[in-house]
Structure 1
Amino acid sequence: MSDRIVYSTDPDWGKPGTPRQPEPLRLSFRRGAKGSGVTCLERLVMHPTLKDQMLARLKRQLGCGGALKDGTFEFQGDHRDKLEKLLLADGYKIKRIGG
């Protein structure tokens, strides 16, 4: 038999808590056509309103511009090191992609 719980009479079982991040966030850097670069943060699982709030906070802390495109955070410039420190302090796991 499987150990998977199908039904429980425990009233506290399965209550939603803080949603877990299923996999590490991907942090990368891409160069544009004109030589300018963009730091990208992908695979962040949270409500869209909270993503907008987090984007505003990170832009303020990094001191740069940025946007949210198709669920990916894009920050103007190379901010991988600073962004990694900020996200690790918030408890996220980070996987650096590329250089």
Structure 2
Amino acid sequence: MNRKTLSLADWQQQQQSDTPRSAPVTSTSENLIYSTDGGNLTQPKPAKAGGEAYADGKVRLQRQTKKRGGKAVIVVRGIAKSHDELTVICKALKQSCACGGTVKDGTIELQNDQRERVEEALKKLGYSTLWAGG
């Protein structure tokens, strides 16, 4: 048996000389598989909606139980302020009513059915209220 032993360096050199060098592949949109071009692909977050006032200037209070498993929520509409100012008003209402709540799409939603407390707290803040929806 005649075996010729090659060192690793000789074998690598032999492999490099056997493979022909090809021209670099230019990418086009047809054969593009992955690209890091395109910059920042995250979309900017839209500005949060503020409230809109009604023509008579009164704040509407409405009791809702839709899609909430039968639990009552007081929805406050008609305060023409920015989202940040509505958040401050919501915090004051939550503290006076001792309940949870949030600001969604320019309205304030307060948990539990505490109509009188919400109405009193809004009057202390200088808003005239009107019950809507029954």
The normalised TM-score by structure 1 is 0.71
Task: Name whichever structure is richer in strand by fraction.
Answer: 1
Corresponding residue of 2:63 = 29
Counterpart of 2:97, as a letter, is: L
Gaps of at least 5 residues in structure 2 are: 1-52
Number of equivalent positions: 80
Q: Which has the larger radius of gyration?
A: 2
Corresponding residue of 1:60 = 95
Equivalent residues of 1:32, 1:38 under 8 A apart: no
* RCO higher in structure (CA 8 A, sep ≥6): 1
Gaps of at least 5 residues in structure 1 are: 1-19
Counterpart of 1:89, as a letter, is: K
Structure 1 residue ranges, 4+ long, deviating more than 3 angstroms after superposition:
none
Following superposition, the deviation at residue 55 of structure 1 comes to 0.9
From 90, 115, 118, give the equivalent of 1:80: 115
Cα distance 1:62–1:24, how it changes in 2: closer, same or farther (>3 A)? same
Following superposition, the deviation at residue 40 of structure 1 comes to 0.5
**How far apart, in 2, do the equivalents of 1:43 and 1:35 lie?**
25
